[in-house]
Every structure is written in structure tokens, then in C-alpha cells.
Amino acid sequence: MSNTSVQDDIDLDYGPLYAARKKVFPQKVSGTFRRIKWGLMGFCLGVYYFLPFVRWNRGLGAPDQAVLIDFPNKRFYFFFIEIWPQELYYFTGLLVIAALVLFLLNSIGGRIWCGYLCPQTVWTDLFYAVERLIEGDRRERMKKDAAGWNLERVSETVLKHSIWLMIAWWTGGAWVLYFADAPTLVWQLLTFRAPMLAYIWIGILTASTYVLAGWMREQVCVYMCPWPRIQAALTDEWALNVTYRYDRGEKRTSVKKAKELRARGEPVGDCVDCYQCVAVCPTGIDIRNGSQLDCIQCGLCIDACDTVMTKIGRPTRLIGYDSDINIKRRTEGKPEIYRVVRPRTVIYCGLIAVVGAIMLYAMLTRSLLDVNVLHDRNPVAVKLSDGSIRNAYTMRLLNKRGFDRVIAIDIDGPVNATVHVVGVDSVTQDRPMIVLGRDQTTELRVLVTAPAENNTEKSVPVRFRITDIGLGETAVTTDNFVTP
């Protein structure tokens, strides 16, 4: 190779390593999928913003907020369900079910979550709606962006960002309402008497909502979210994704040219290269280039293409939910096949049913009375003056019901052993009774004493049993009685 050719290779300009990110101006569109997105956005935002104000009667003295995360009292309330800290495994089950539902949706219809239900999508859609209302549609926004700054654009920008900040502020404010009584906290916030922690979290969530939905927008989906990478590994050839049906669309040409070609009997596709699918895309991609990481499969390109096809008198759904298998079958003259029920979806549904059944069974059969015992470690046992042996325990009783209960304490284990609760007078000599307050835990000091002559073993299992005198409900735990 000559020195000249080597130098030519060295001087060759390959361009930048990373392409510059183009500003996206999504165009307004109407149609089936846009209406679905409006409906889901209204529903999701309505639930998020107003659910804290829904009331639920749990009885006298109990919080009446339907959904409440009560950190001071270590409770989570969801309508008729009350979760205690010891029952966090329910949240694990919910997370497992949520992941499986996400996998199931992906195996049926691709990134349904991303396109319709993801908070980033919902709030970005809302921010886009505000932007269009103030600054106009795609062409108007592009012209104003190219023209530079003037008084009109400054006023529109200030108004737009002010509304964005108001939405972001109420988003952060609604979040903190799930952690305290909503009407009370709203009044405290308005009168500047709310806890400082509430203002801090509102500020954090206001800033994050404003930045993510107002500024970063589609870049969150493309660069920050891990789900597109995971989804690509989970999908299969039968999953329905937003697809350009190139078997029908190619070759592309204008409407006028297409009529001429069809009149001569020459093959021509339905795509007229109008770029409406690109104009309405929130990530600015061309769906005709095939499956892409940037596509959130919101379906807006389907609505845009259907509008054009209707105007030119061609069949709709040139872009639609489809699979590569069906495109291949159509090119071969075979009928389309849709397999929603297949091993993958059956397995996901089965796992969701199993985990849901386990959680439901655990919820329906869970005990609302519980007991835990911790043996003293120093000393583990004491020999009294009469020769008997005493072990001390810390007992924690748990009452999950909304009313007081009379609880009797019994033990099974050492021969002729007696139990005494420190600070509590026993109704009978060998069966102490206490009043256990509603919806609370109580810690007791329990002493178990046994004659030494009847208990010669070094360690004897001892079972503590508590009984609700009124309901007959019991709870049992086991420890050891130790001889020094």
C-alpha cells in the first residue's frame, strides 16, 4: 500500500462518534389509540391525585383514610386491609405479581406499560398537552423555536413553565398526602404549619416531575429506563408490537405517482411517504425502519397513518399491532395467525394465579393475635432460696383487631411450673390475664418458676399460649426453660 493511500485513510472523516440529539416536536393526533391514552391518563391521574381524600370507616379511634402509609404507628392501610411491619412479605408478593403482569403484557402486546401506563408517559403526555394549548401544534412550535426570542414567546414560555411547575407541585403534594391524613395535611401546608419533612419531599418531587416530564421527556425512556433492554430479551416472535407492515407499504411513492403506477398495473405500496408517523412520535423515530429501542409503542403512529389512509381511500392499519410472523405469512400468501394463548403466556398467568392464591390464603387465614418471646440471656436462669428455678422472658403480644381483648397466658413445659407477669395481678394462681389494647403491641416481663426436684433436665422446651377469652382465638410460641 502506498503512503498516499495510507494518508487518505488517515484523513478520511468518519463523522462524530455520537449523533446529535434532535429536538422533538410531536404533532397532535386523534384516533382510537389517542382516545385510549386520554382515558387512561385521566383515570391514572384521577386515582393518584384524589385517592388520599377517599374515606374508609375502620371504627372509633382508627384512621379513616382509605389508603394510608402510617409510619409513626408502623401501619399500612388499604381500604379494609391493614398491614403490619411483620407482614411486609405481602409487599414482596405484590412486587412479584407486578413483575409477572409486566412480563405477561409484554408477551401479549409489547411495551403496553411504556406506551399507556408508565408515570413518565402519563405526565409527559400531560405536559405536552399544556405546551400545545399555549404554544400551538408542531408547526407553530417549530417556527417559534427557529425564530428566536421575542416578547410573545417569552410570555408563552413563562406561562407554560408556570403551569408545569403547578402540576409538578401538586404531584409532589399528592404524594405526601399518602403518609398523613390528607385534609389535615393540606390545611397545614396552606397555613405553613406542616412538618418540614413534608415541604422537603414536596420540593424534591416537584423538581423531579418538572425536570423529567418537562425537560427530559423521551430521553428518560431512551437512556435512563432499563425496561426497553429487558423487554427486548423477554419478547418472542408471537408478541404483537406496533409494526409497519412493509409487505403492504413498499414500495413507497407519492399519491399521484401511486395512481399512475396502479393504472399501468405496476406494483406499488400504500405508503405515500407523508412522514406523519414520524411527526406524531414522542421519541421522533421512523417506525418504518423496523423495531427500535426508542419506540415506546404508544400507538400514535397508527392513528396518524390511519388518518392519511382514510383520506386517500386506502385500507387502514398500514401501521398496527402485528408480528413479524404474520408479515412473512402474508408475503407467502398464507393466512394470519395470532397466538395469545401459548406456553409463555400460560406460564405467566399460572404464576400470577399461584402467587395471588398464596397471598389471598395468607391474608384470609392470618392470625390477628400474635405472641413472641425472648429468653433473658444474663442470667439465663436463677436458683431461688427454696431451690426452685426461675427463668425470665420478655413477651410481646400483638392485637391486630380494632377493639380491646382480654388475654389469658398459659404455659406447657416444666413440671408443676407457674407463670407470673410482672406488674400484673393474676386472676387465678396459675393463669394470668391482661387487657390487650386494640390495634397495638404490648411488652410484658414474664417469670416462669419450676420446682428443681421435678425438673432435672438441663433444658426443657416451654410453650407459651395466649388465648382471647371472648373469641377463643389463640397464638402459640416456643422457647426453652433452662436449669443452671
Same domain, 78 and 166: yes
Nearest CA-CA partner of 249 in 311, 201, 299, 316: 316
Nearest CA-CA partner of 288 in 314, 313, 252, 255: 252
pTM above 0.75, yes or no: yes
Q: What is the domain extent for residue 460? A: 369-482
Whether 395 is in a domain gets the answer: yes
Same domain, 310 and 409: no
Same domain, 331 and 460: no
For residues 82 and 400, the answer to whether their CB atoms sit within 8 Å is yes
Q: Which three cell numbers stand for residue 38?
A: 386520554
**pLDDT in single tens digits along all 484 residues of the chain:** 455 544 444 444 555 655 566 788 999 999 999 999 999 999 999 999 999 999 998 877 788 899 999 888 888 999 988 888 878 888 899 999 999 999 999 999 888 999 999 999 999 999 999 999 999 999 999 999 888 899 999 999 999 999 999 999 999 999 999 999 999 999 999 999 999 999 999 999 999 999 999 999 888 988 888 888 888 778 888 888 999 998 888 888 888 888 888 888 888 888 999 999 999 999 989 999 988 888 999 999 999 999 999 999 899 999 999 988 888 888 888 888 888 899 999 999 999 999 999 999 988 888 888 899 999 888 888 888 888 888 999 999 988 887 888 888 888 888 888 888 887 765 555 678 888 888 888 898 999 888 877 666 788 889 999 898 888 888 999 998 888 7
Nearest CA-CA partner of 231 in 173, 289, 293: 293
Same domain, 378 and 348: no
Count the domains in the chain: 2
Same domain, 184 and 318: yes
Among positive and negative, which fits the CA dihedral 117, 119, 122, 128?
Answer: negative
- How far apart are the C-alpha atoms of 484 and 478, rounded to whole Å? 20
* 83 φ/ψ angles, rounded to the nearest 5 degrees: -110, 130
Burial classification of residue 316, based on how many CB atoms lie within 10 Å of its CB (0-12 exposed, 13-18 middle, 19 or more buried): middle
Same domain, 88 and 46: yes
Whether 444 is in a domain gets the answer: yes
Domain boundary among 366, 397, 419: 366
* 87 φ/ψ angles, rounded to the nearest 5 degrees: -115, 30
Nearest CA-CA partner of 238 in 102, 343, 116, 115: 343
Whether 206 is in a domain gets the answer: yes
